[in-house]
Amino acid sequence: MKKKLVGVLMCAAMTATMLAGCGNSSTPATTPAEPAPAAPAETQAAAPAETQAAQAEAPEASGDVVKVGFAQVGHESDWRAANTKNYQDTFSAANGYELSFVDCDNDHAVQIETVRGFIEQELDYICIAPIQSAGWDTVLQEAQDAGIPVLIVDRAVDADASLYTTALGCDMIAEGETAGNWLAEYLDGEDANILVIEGSVGASATLGRTEGFNNIVEQNSNWTVLDSQSGDFTQAGGQEVMESFIKSYSDFNVVVCQNDNEAYGAMDAMDAAGITYGVDGDVIIISFDATHDGLQYTLDGKITCNVECNPLQAGFAEGVVQKLEAGEAVDAWTLVEDEAFVAPGIDSDYAVTMSQEVLDGRAY
Ligand code: GZL
Ligand code: ZN
Protein backbone atom coordinates (compact mmCIF):
# COMPACT_ATOMS: atom_id res chain seq x y z
CA MET A 1 0.00 0.00 0.00
CA LYS A 2 1.09 3.54 -0.61
CA LYS A 3 2.83 5.12 2.37
CA LYS A 4 0.41 7.66 3.76
CA LEU A 5 2.06 10.98 4.40
CA VAL A 6 -0.11 12.22 7.22
CA GLY A 7 -0.65 15.87 6.47
CA VAL A 8 -0.48 18.13 9.49
CA LEU A 9 -2.20 21.44 8.83
CA MET A 10 0.38 24.10 9.60
CA CYS A 11 -0.60 27.35 8.00
CA ALA A 12 2.59 29.26 7.48
CA ALA A 13 3.31 32.47 5.66
CA MET A 14 5.07 31.34 2.56
CA THR A 15 7.93 33.21 1.05
CA ALA A 16 10.31 31.76 -1.43
CA THR A 17 12.92 33.16 -3.74
CA MET A 18 11.59 32.72 -7.23
CA LEU A 19 14.06 32.91 -10.08
CA ALA A 20 12.92 34.11 -13.48
CA GLY A 21 11.79 31.06 -15.38
CA CYS A 22 9.29 30.60 -18.11
CA GLY A 23 6.32 29.70 -16.03
CA ASN A 24 6.95 30.70 -12.46
CA SER A 25 4.10 29.41 -10.42
CA SER A 26 2.74 31.73 -7.78
CA THR A 27 3.67 31.10 -4.17
CA PRO A 28 0.58 30.32 -2.17
CA ALA A 29 -0.08 32.80 0.67
CA THR A 30 -0.72 30.22 3.35
CA THR A 31 -0.74 26.52 2.73
CA PRO A 32 -0.73 23.37 4.77
CA ALA A 33 2.82 22.12 4.92
CA GLU A 34 3.56 18.43 4.71
CA PRO A 35 5.78 17.44 7.61
CA ALA A 36 8.94 15.64 6.59
CA PRO A 37 8.08 11.95 6.97
CA ALA A 38 10.37 9.83 9.07
CA ALA A 39 13.51 9.06 7.15
CA PRO A 40 12.47 6.89 4.23
CA ALA A 41 12.32 3.28 5.29
CA GLU A 42 14.78 0.89 3.72
CA THR A 43 13.43 0.63 0.24
CA GLN A 44 13.46 -2.18 -2.20
CA ALA A 45 16.46 -1.93 -4.50
CA ALA A 46 15.31 -0.25 -7.64
CA ALA A 47 16.92 1.76 -10.43
CA PRO A 48 20.52 2.39 -9.32
CA ALA A 49 21.93 -0.43 -7.16
CA GLU A 50 21.09 0.13 -3.51
CA THR A 51 24.29 1.53 -2.09
CA GLN A 52 24.83 3.99 0.68
CA ALA A 53 25.48 7.25 -1.12
CA ALA A 54 28.86 8.71 -0.38
CA GLN A 55 28.33 10.98 2.58
CA ALA A 56 28.19 14.33 0.86
CA GLU A 57 30.05 17.11 2.60
CA ALA A 58 27.40 18.89 4.59
CA PRO A 59 27.71 22.47 3.31
CA GLU A 60 28.98 25.30 5.39
CA ALA A 61 25.97 26.26 7.47
CA SER A 62 24.66 29.36 5.71
CA GLY A 63 23.24 30.81 8.89
CA ASP A 64 20.08 29.05 9.89
CA VAL A 65 18.61 29.16 6.37
CA VAL A 66 19.22 26.19 4.08
CA LYS A 67 19.33 27.27 0.44
CA VAL A 68 17.72 24.77 -1.91
CA GLY A 69 17.48 25.07 -5.69
CA PHE A 70 14.72 23.19 -7.51
CA ALA A 71 14.88 22.88 -11.32
CA GLN A 72 11.32 21.73 -12.02
CA VAL A 73 10.21 20.11 -15.30
CA GLY A 74 7.60 22.73 -16.10
CA HIS A 75 3.86 23.23 -15.73
CA GLU A 76 2.59 20.67 -18.26
CA SER A 77 0.11 18.78 -16.08
CA ASP A 78 -2.05 18.74 -12.97
CA TRP A 79 0.39 16.21 -11.52
CA ARG A 80 3.24 18.69 -11.98
CA ALA A 81 1.25 21.46 -10.30
CA ALA A 82 0.66 19.24 -7.26
CA ASN A 83 4.34 18.29 -7.18
CA THR A 84 5.43 21.95 -7.40
CA LYS A 85 3.07 23.02 -4.62
CA ASN A 86 4.35 20.19 -2.45
CA TYR A 87 7.95 21.40 -2.82
CA GLN A 88 7.01 25.02 -2.15
CA ASP A 89 5.02 23.99 0.93
CA THR A 90 7.86 21.81 2.23
CA PHE A 91 10.93 23.94 1.49
CA SER A 92 9.31 27.07 2.91
CA ALA A 93 10.83 29.95 4.85
CA ALA A 94 8.72 28.89 7.82
CA ASN A 95 10.47 25.51 7.70
CA GLY A 96 13.91 27.15 7.56
CA TYR A 97 14.57 27.11 3.81
CA GLU A 98 15.19 29.57 1.03
CA LEU A 99 13.82 27.85 -2.08
CA SER A 100 15.07 28.95 -5.49
CA PHE A 101 12.37 27.49 -7.72
CA VAL A 102 12.62 27.56 -11.52
CA ASP A 103 9.95 26.22 -13.89
CA CYS A 104 12.07 25.02 -16.85
CA ASP A 105 9.09 24.85 -19.22
CA ASN A 106 9.89 21.37 -20.55
CA ASP A 107 13.13 22.73 -22.08
CA HIS A 108 16.21 20.60 -21.34
CA ALA A 109 18.69 23.38 -22.28
CA VAL A 110 16.95 25.77 -19.87
CA GLN A 111 17.11 23.14 -17.15
CA ILE A 112 20.86 22.58 -17.62
CA GLU A 113 21.51 26.35 -17.45
CA THR A 114 19.25 26.62 -14.40
CA VAL A 115 21.39 24.06 -12.57
CA ARG A 116 24.54 25.95 -13.60
CA GLY A 117 22.96 29.06 -12.10
CA PHE A 118 22.34 27.22 -8.83
CA ILE A 119 26.01 26.17 -8.79
CA GLU A 120 27.15 29.76 -9.37
CA GLN A 121 24.94 30.90 -6.48
CA GLU A 122 26.63 28.26 -4.31
CA LEU A 123 23.29 26.92 -3.05
CA ASP A 124 23.41 24.27 -0.34
CA TYR A 125 21.38 21.64 -2.22
CA ILE A 126 20.09 21.18 -5.76
CA CYS A 127 16.94 19.21 -6.63
CA ILE A 128 16.40 18.28 -10.29
CA ALA A 129 13.27 16.73 -11.81
CA PRO A 130 14.88 15.90 -15.15
CA ILE A 131 12.80 16.74 -18.23
CA GLN A 132 14.71 14.05 -20.10
CA SER A 133 17.00 11.27 -18.92
CA ALA A 134 19.92 11.95 -21.31
CA GLY A 135 22.52 14.72 -21.24
CA TRP A 136 23.26 15.15 -17.52
CA ASP A 137 26.82 13.90 -16.93
CA THR A 138 28.65 17.20 -17.47
CA VAL A 139 26.56 19.47 -15.26
CA LEU A 140 26.26 16.81 -12.55
CA GLN A 141 30.06 16.60 -12.51
CA GLU A 142 30.20 20.41 -12.19
CA ALA A 143 27.84 20.30 -9.18
CA GLN A 144 29.90 17.53 -7.60
CA ASP A 145 33.13 19.48 -8.19
CA ALA A 146 31.47 22.43 -6.46
CA GLY A 147 30.63 20.20 -3.49
CA ILE A 148 26.85 20.69 -3.81
CA PRO A 149 24.71 17.61 -3.09
CA VAL A 150 22.25 16.86 -5.92
CA LEU A 151 18.92 15.12 -5.47
CA ILE A 152 17.41 13.61 -8.63
CA VAL A 153 13.66 13.67 -7.97
CA ASP A 154 10.54 12.34 -9.69
CA ARG A 155 12.19 11.23 -12.91
CA ALA A 156 15.55 9.54 -13.51
CA VAL A 157 18.74 10.54 -15.28
CA ASP A 158 20.76 8.26 -17.56
CA ALA A 159 23.99 8.98 -15.65
CA ASP A 160 26.23 7.09 -13.23
CA ALA A 161 24.76 7.13 -9.71
CA SER A 162 28.14 8.31 -8.38
CA LEU A 163 27.43 11.67 -10.04
CA TYR A 164 24.60 12.58 -7.66
CA THR A 165 23.81 12.14 -3.98
CA THR A 166 20.44 10.39 -4.16
CA ALA A 167 17.45 9.70 -6.38
CA LEU A 168 13.79 9.33 -5.46
CA GLY A 169 10.60 8.71 -7.34
CA CYS A 170 8.07 6.16 -8.48
CA ASP A 171 8.88 2.94 -10.34
CA MET A 172 7.65 3.78 -13.81
CA ILE A 173 8.28 0.33 -15.25
CA ALA A 174 6.15 -1.18 -12.49
CA GLU A 175 3.43 1.37 -13.27
CA GLY A 176 3.41 0.26 -16.91
CA GLU A 177 3.28 -3.41 -15.91
CA THR A 178 0.41 -2.74 -13.50
CA ALA A 179 -1.57 -1.19 -16.36
CA GLY A 180 -0.84 -4.19 -18.58
CA ASN A 181 -1.57 -6.77 -15.91
CA TRP A 182 -4.87 -5.10 -15.09
CA LEU A 183 -5.82 -5.00 -18.79
CA ALA A 184 -5.11 -8.73 -19.17
CA GLU A 185 -7.23 -9.43 -16.08
CA TYR A 186 -10.06 -7.22 -17.39
CA LEU A 187 -10.03 -8.51 -20.99
CA ASP A 188 -9.87 -12.10 -19.77
CA GLY A 189 -8.56 -13.43 -23.10
CA GLU A 190 -10.34 -10.96 -25.41
CA ASP A 191 -8.33 -9.39 -28.26
CA ALA A 192 -6.89 -5.92 -27.79
CA ASN A 193 -6.08 -3.32 -30.48
CA ILE A 194 -4.22 -0.69 -28.53
CA LEU A 195 -3.33 2.94 -29.16
CA VAL A 196 -0.78 4.58 -26.85
CA ILE A 197 -0.47 8.32 -26.18
CA GLU A 198 3.02 8.53 -24.71
CA GLY A 199 4.38 11.19 -22.38
CA SER A 200 7.19 13.64 -23.18
CA VAL A 201 9.89 12.21 -25.46
CA GLY A 202 12.93 10.99 -23.54
CA ALA A 203 11.37 11.36 -20.08
CA SER A 204 11.97 8.41 -17.77
CA ALA A 205 8.23 8.39 -16.99
CA THR A 206 7.54 7.82 -20.68
CA LEU A 207 10.33 5.31 -21.18
CA GLY A 208 9.41 3.33 -18.06
CA ARG A 209 5.66 3.19 -18.58
CA THR A 210 6.16 2.21 -22.22
CA GLU A 211 8.67 -0.51 -21.33
CA GLY A 212 6.54 -1.88 -18.51
CA PHE A 213 3.32 -1.98 -20.54
CA ASN A 214 5.10 -3.59 -23.49
CA ASN A 215 6.46 -6.29 -21.16
CA ILE A 216 2.85 -7.39 -20.72
CA VAL A 217 1.89 -6.86 -24.38
CA GLU A 218 4.56 -9.42 -25.24
CA GLN A 219 2.81 -11.95 -22.99
CA ASN A 220 -0.48 -11.58 -24.90
CA SER A 221 -0.23 -12.79 -28.49
CA ASN A 222 -3.77 -11.52 -29.31
CA TRP A 223 -2.84 -7.93 -28.38
CA THR A 224 -1.65 -5.45 -31.02
CA VAL A 225 -0.24 -1.98 -30.35
CA LEU A 226 -1.49 -0.19 -33.48
CA ASP A 227 0.43 3.05 -32.79
CA SER A 228 2.28 4.93 -30.05
CA GLN A 229 2.94 8.69 -30.23
CA SER A 230 3.94 11.41 -27.75
CA GLY A 231 1.26 13.74 -26.38
CA ASP A 232 3.93 15.53 -24.28
CA PHE A 233 1.93 14.96 -21.06
CA THR A 234 -0.47 17.78 -21.99
CA GLN A 235 -4.23 17.86 -22.65
CA ALA A 236 -3.72 19.60 -25.99
CA GLY A 237 -1.15 16.96 -26.93
CA GLY A 238 -3.50 14.15 -25.97
CA GLN A 239 -6.32 15.61 -28.05
CA GLU A 240 -4.08 16.21 -31.07
CA VAL A 241 -2.67 12.68 -31.05
CA MET A 242 -6.10 11.11 -30.51
CA GLU A 243 -7.54 13.13 -33.42
CA SER A 244 -4.79 11.81 -35.68
CA PHE A 245 -5.30 8.26 -34.40
CA ILE A 246 -9.04 8.47 -35.17
CA LYS A 247 -8.22 9.48 -38.75
CA SER A 248 -5.92 6.46 -39.14
CA TYR A 249 -7.53 3.67 -37.11
CA SER A 250 -11.11 2.47 -36.71
CA ASP A 251 -10.69 -0.88 -34.97
CA PHE A 252 -9.11 0.10 -31.64
CA ASN A 253 -10.66 -0.90 -28.31
CA VAL A 254 -7.98 0.33 -25.84
CA VAL A 255 -6.34 3.77 -25.48
CA VAL A 256 -3.44 4.06 -23.03
CA CYS A 257 -2.77 7.67 -21.97
CA GLN A 258 0.48 8.11 -20.05
CA ASN A 259 -1.05 10.83 -17.87
CA ASP A 260 -4.47 12.21 -16.92
CA ASN A 261 -4.19 15.42 -18.92
CA GLU A 262 -3.61 13.42 -22.11
CA ALA A 263 -6.67 11.32 -21.21
CA TYR A 264 -8.81 14.46 -20.96
CA GLY A 265 -7.67 15.48 -24.44
CA ALA A 266 -8.29 11.99 -25.80
CA MET A 267 -11.81 12.00 -24.36
CA ASP A 268 -12.51 15.38 -26.01
CA ALA A 269 -11.35 13.96 -29.35
CA MET A 270 -13.44 10.80 -29.00
CA ASP A 271 -16.49 12.81 -27.94
CA ALA A 272 -16.13 14.94 -31.08
CA ALA A 273 -15.90 11.79 -33.21
CA GLY A 274 -18.84 10.10 -31.51
CA ILE A 275 -16.65 7.29 -30.13
CA THR A 276 -17.83 5.92 -26.79
CA TYR A 277 -15.43 5.00 -24.00
CA GLY A 278 -15.44 3.83 -20.39
CA VAL A 279 -17.23 0.96 -18.68
CA ASP A 280 -20.32 1.46 -20.86
CA GLY A 281 -18.45 2.40 -24.03
CA ASP A 282 -16.55 0.75 -26.88
CA VAL A 283 -13.07 1.90 -25.81
CA ILE A 284 -11.18 1.15 -22.59
CA ILE A 285 -9.16 4.16 -21.37
CA ILE A 286 -6.16 3.48 -19.15
CA SER A 287 -4.55 6.57 -17.61
CA PHE A 288 -1.65 7.36 -15.24
CA ASP A 289 -1.24 9.85 -12.37
CA ALA A 290 -4.52 9.30 -10.49
CA THR A 291 -4.87 13.04 -9.85
CA HIS A 292 -8.13 14.22 -8.32
CA ASP A 293 -9.85 14.93 -11.63
CA GLY A 294 -8.46 11.73 -13.12
CA LEU A 295 -9.98 9.74 -10.26
CA GLN A 296 -13.28 11.60 -10.63
CA TYR A 297 -13.40 10.36 -14.23
CA THR A 298 -12.50 6.89 -12.96
CA LEU A 299 -15.29 7.06 -10.36
CA ASP A 300 -17.63 8.14 -13.19
CA GLY A 301 -16.58 5.08 -15.23
CA LYS A 302 -15.08 7.17 -18.07
CA ILE A 303 -11.47 6.17 -17.32
CA THR A 304 -11.56 2.46 -16.59
CA CYS A 305 -8.15 2.11 -14.94
CA ASN A 306 -5.92 4.85 -13.48
CA VAL A 307 -2.41 4.01 -12.28
CA GLU A 308 -1.18 6.38 -9.58
CA CYS A 309 2.16 8.13 -9.46
CA ASN A 310 2.32 10.00 -6.17
CA PRO A 311 3.41 13.68 -6.65
CA LEU A 312 3.77 14.34 -2.91
CA GLN A 313 7.50 13.60 -2.86
CA ALA A 314 9.01 16.71 -1.26
CA GLY A 315 8.88 15.15 2.20
CA PHE A 316 11.28 12.45 1.05
CA ALA A 317 13.60 15.09 -0.43
CA GLU A 318 13.51 17.07 2.81
CA GLY A 319 14.26 13.90 4.75
CA VAL A 320 17.46 13.53 2.71
CA VAL A 321 18.41 17.19 3.24
CA GLN A 322 17.85 16.89 6.98
CA LYS A 323 20.03 13.78 7.17
CA LEU A 324 22.81 15.47 5.19
CA GLU A 325 22.55 18.57 7.39
CA ALA A 326 23.05 16.23 10.36
CA GLY A 327 26.06 14.66 8.65
CA GLU A 328 24.34 11.32 8.20
CA ALA A 329 24.66 9.00 5.20
CA VAL A 330 21.61 8.76 2.92
CA ASP A 331 20.10 6.01 0.79
CA ALA A 332 21.06 6.15 -2.88
CA TRP A 333 17.45 5.50 -3.91
CA THR A 334 14.06 6.05 -2.32
CA LEU A 335 11.01 4.46 -3.90
CA VAL A 336 7.82 6.54 -3.70
CA GLU A 337 5.11 3.91 -3.58
CA ASP A 338 1.83 4.13 -5.43
CA GLU A 339 -1.15 2.02 -6.42
CA ALA A 340 -3.86 1.79 -9.09
CA PHE A 341 -7.60 2.43 -9.22
CA VAL A 342 -10.45 1.05 -11.34
CA ALA A 343 -14.00 2.11 -12.05
CA PRO A 344 -16.79 1.03 -9.72
CA GLY A 345 -18.10 -2.47 -10.27
CA ILE A 346 -14.69 -3.83 -11.25
CA ASP A 347 -12.86 -6.17 -8.88
CA SER A 348 -9.14 -6.45 -9.48
CA ASP A 349 -6.03 -8.00 -7.97
CA TYR A 350 -4.06 -5.02 -9.29
CA ALA A 351 -6.19 -2.02 -8.35
CA VAL A 352 -8.51 -0.46 -5.78
CA THR A 353 -12.16 -0.13 -6.83
CA MET A 354 -13.13 3.55 -6.85
CA SER A 355 -15.81 4.95 -4.57
CA GLN A 356 -16.70 8.46 -3.39
CA GLU A 357 -15.06 7.56 -0.06
CA VAL A 358 -11.78 6.70 -1.83
CA LEU A 359 -11.91 9.98 -3.77
CA ASP A 360 -12.70 12.03 -0.68
CA GLY A 361 -9.75 10.43 1.12
CA ARG A 362 -7.15 11.50 -1.43
CA ALA A 363 -4.45 14.00 -0.45
CA TYR A 364 -4.23 15.55 -3.96
C1 GZL B 1 5.64 11.12 -13.27
C2 GZL B 1 5.84 12.52 -13.80
C3 GZL B 1 5.01 12.74 -15.03
C4 GZL B 1 3.50 12.64 -14.76
C5 GZL B 1 2.98 13.66 -15.70
O6 GZL B 1 6.49 10.91 -12.18
O7 GZL B 1 7.20 12.76 -14.13
O8 GZL B 1 5.26 14.05 -15.52
O9 GZL B 1 2.98 11.36 -15.02
C10 GZL B 1 4.02 14.76 -15.55
O11 GZL B 1 1.70 14.14 -15.42
O12 GZL B 1 3.95 15.66 -16.59
ZN1 ZN C 1 5.55 27.64 -20.82
Question: Which own/partner contact pairs does 56-61 have at CB distance under 8 Å and 24+ positions apart?
Answer: 56/147, 56/149, 56/165, 56/324, 56/330, 57/147, 58/324, 58/325, 58/326, 58/327, 59/124, 59/125, 59/147, 59/148, 59/149
* pLDDT tens digits along 198-233: 999 999 999 999 999 999 999 999 999 999 999 999
* pLDDT tens digits along 279-329: 999 999 999 999 999 999 999 999 999 999 999 999 999 999 999 999 999
DSSP structural state of residue 333: E
Q: Which whole number is the average pLDDT over 245-255? A: 98
Among 233, 256, 338, name the best residue to mutate to test ligand 1's pocket (greatest count of ligand atoms within 8 A of Cβ). Answer: 233
Lowest mean pLDDT among 16-25, 121-130, 247-256: 16-25
| Neighbouring residues of 363: CB distance < 8 A, sequence distance ≥ 6 | 4, 5, 7, 312
Which one of the ligands is nearest to 104 CA?
A: 2
**CA 22–ligand 2 middle distance (angstroms):** 5
The reported pLDDT for the residue numbered 64 is 81
Q: For the chain, what is the mean pLDDT?
A: 88
Helix (H) / strand (E) containing 227:
strand 223-230
**Closest protein CA for atom 1 of ligand 1:** 205
Neighbours of 196 (CB within 10 A): 24
The reported pLDDT for the residue numbered 55 is 45
CB-facing half-sphere around the CA of 166: CA atoms within 13 A: 28
**CA 329–ligand 1 middle distance (angstroms):** 29
Q: Which whole number is the average pLDDT over 248-273? A: 98
CB 116 within 8 A of CB 346: no
The reported pLDDT for the residue numbered 32 is 35
Q: Which whole number is the average pLDDT over 80-85? A: 98
The reported pLDDT for the residue numbered 162 is 97
* pLDDT tens digits along 164-192: 999 999 999 999 999 999 999 999 999 99
The fraction of the chain above a pLDDT of 70, given in percent, is: 83
**CA 344–ligand 2 middle distance (angstroms):** 36
The reported pLDDT for the residue numbered 88 is 98
The reported pLDDT for the residue numbered 63 is 61
Q: Which whole number is the average pLDDT over 1-17? A: 39
Among 76, 77, 234, 262, name the best residue to mutate to test ligand 1's pocket (greatest count of ligand atoms within 8 A of Cβ). Answer: 77
Lowest mean pLDDT among 80-84, 104-108, 147-151, 360-364: 360-364
Q: Which whole number is the average pLDDT over 86-102? A: 98
| Bridge partners, residue 225, by sequence | 194
Nearest to 156 by CA among 309, 3, 323, 260: 309
* pLDDT tens digits along 24-79: 333 333 333 444 443 333 333 344 444 444 444 444 444 689 999 999 999 999 99
**CA 302–ligand 1 middle distance (angstroms):** 21
Reply yes or no on whether the pLDDT at 131 is more than 70: yes
Sign of torsion, CA 21 132 322 116?
negative
The reported pLDDT for the residue numbered 14 is 42
The reported pLDDT for the residue numbered 339 is 96
